[in-house]
Amino acid sequence: MTAAPVALPDLSDEQLLARYQVGEHAALEELFRRYRQPAYRVAYRLLGNEADALDAVQEGFVKALTHLQGFQGRSSFKTWLLRVVSNAALDLGRQRGRREALPLDAGHNGDNVPPQLQAADESGRGLERADLRAVLDKALATLSEVQRQTFVLYADAGLSYREVAEAMGTSIGTVMSRLYYARQKLRAYLNERATL
């Protein structure tokens, strides 16, 4: 009698990477499925639009998978990947400049409003959300690059302080300091505009 094969979602990242390295593409698909969402959220916040964020996710996965020796033994794949994705997003932002978000934020004039936003707009919440996003994007842009990266890794990727420190290759104390001053700046910006 042989043991039943273990389903991919039950495998650890390390086990999936080992399988990927011997050519099992399903392992890559599982890793992608597992981390695409936090990677996308980080990239979206740093770039402000869907197309560029997906490009950064693609670039980040490619770089992480082709430079696996860069993280092994020093961090988890998750923190390594999210660091690489955030770096890719910052690089892309420098190359292309931050473009305003489409399509959700395009609905200010009432034209070209996507269906999901039209429905939300009936209650007024959709437009409020678009406005809030625009203000938060501008507030985020007031931060230094390293503050922005730290804050987004915490707030959007759902990493703990310890994981952010691991991803950034720094101490928890430094992460706390960056997060604190980032939030001070964000709060000041938002309070000036009576957004909070």
Partner 1 sequence: MTDAWNPGPKPAPEDLMAFADGELDAARREEVAAWLAAHPEGQAEVEDFHRLAGAWQRVTPAEPSAEQWAATLARVEARVAPAGPRPAGYQRRPVWTFAGLAAAAVLGVVMLSRFLGSGTEDEPFPVAEAHEINIVHMDARDADALVGHPPLLGNMVFADNNDVHLVSAVPHGGDGRVARMEQGPVPMIVVGPGADPDDR
Tokens of 126: 């959709």
Q: Compare residues 11 and 185 and give the one whose CB is closer to partner 1.
A: 185
Q: By CB under 8 A, name the one of 156, 157, 166, 168 that touches partner 1.
A: 156
Q: Provide the 10 A C-beta neighbour count for residue 75.
A: 17
54 binds partner 1, rule: CB under 8 A:
yes
Nearer to partner 1, 57 or 153 (CB): 57
Is residue 42 within 8 Å of residue 52, measured between CB atoms? no
- The yes or no reply on residue 195 touching partner 1 (CB under 8 A) is yes
CB of 164 to partner 1, least distance (A): 10
Interacting residue with partner 1 among 44, 71, 77, 80 (CB under 8 A): 44
Span interacting with partner 1, options 8-16, 70-78, 82-90, 183-191, rule CB under 8 A: 183-191
As measured in angstroms, the least distance from the Cβ of 32 to partner 1 is 5
Q: By CB under 8 A, name the one of 16, 17, 41, 86 that touches partner 1.
A: 41
Sequence-distant (≥ 6) Cβ neighbours of residue 57 within 8 angstroms:
36, 39, 40, 43, 85
| Cβ contacts of 108 within 8 Å, gap of 6 or more | 127, 130
Which pair of structure tokens corresponds to residue 116? 């999901």
* Residues contacting residue 47 through CB under 8 Å, at least 6 positions apart: 53, 56, 89, 92, 93, 98, 99
State the sign of the Cα–Cα–Cα–Cα dihedral 172, 174, 179, 181.
Answer: positive
List residues near partner 1 by CB under 8 A: 20-25, 28-29, 32, 36-37, 40-41, 44-45, 50, 53-54, 57-58, 61-62, 65-66, 69, 104, 116, 129, 132-133, 136, 155-156, 160-161, 176-177, 179-180, 183, 186-187, 190, 195-196
